[in-house]
Amino acid sequence: MLREAMQEADILILGAGWTSTFLIPQLKKEGLTYAATTTSGRDNTIPFKFDPNSGSIEPYKRLPSARTVLITFPLKGHGQSKTIIGLYRAVHGPKNNWIQLGATSIFNQLPNDWNDDDAPYDKEDARAIAEDELLGEHGCVLDLSGLYGGERVPSKWLPRLVKSKDDVRKRGAVHFVHGEDVARAILATHRKFTPGKRWIVSDLRVYDWYDLIMSFSAPAAGTEESAQEQEEKLQFAKWVGELMIEEGIRALPRGMSVLGRKLDSRGFWQYHGVWPRHQRLY
Average pLDDT over residues 166-187: 98
Predicted TM-score (pTM) above 0.85: yes
Give 282's pLDDT tier (boundaries 50, 70, 90): confident
Identify the pLDDT of residue 222: 61
Torsions phi, psi for 245 (to 5 deg): -65, -50
Strand 207-208 relative to strand 173-174, pairing: antiparallel
| Predicted confidence (pLDDT) per residue in 110-129, tens digit | 999 999 999 999 999 999 99
Q: Which domains does the chain have, with CATH numbers?
A: 8-153+175-207+261-272 (3.40.50.720)
End-to-end CA, the chain = 31
Give 5's pLDDT tier (boundaries 50, 70, 90): low
Identify the pLDDT of residue 225: 78
| Predicted confidence (pLDDT) per residue in 248-278, tens digit | 999 999 999 999 999 999 999 999 999 999 9
Residues 6+ apart with CB under 8 A from 249: 210, 243
Counting residues of the chain whose pLDDT is more than 70, the rounded percentage is: 97
Identify the pLDDT of residue 219: 76
β-pair partners for 66:
9
Strand 97-103 relative to strand 140-144, pairing: parallel
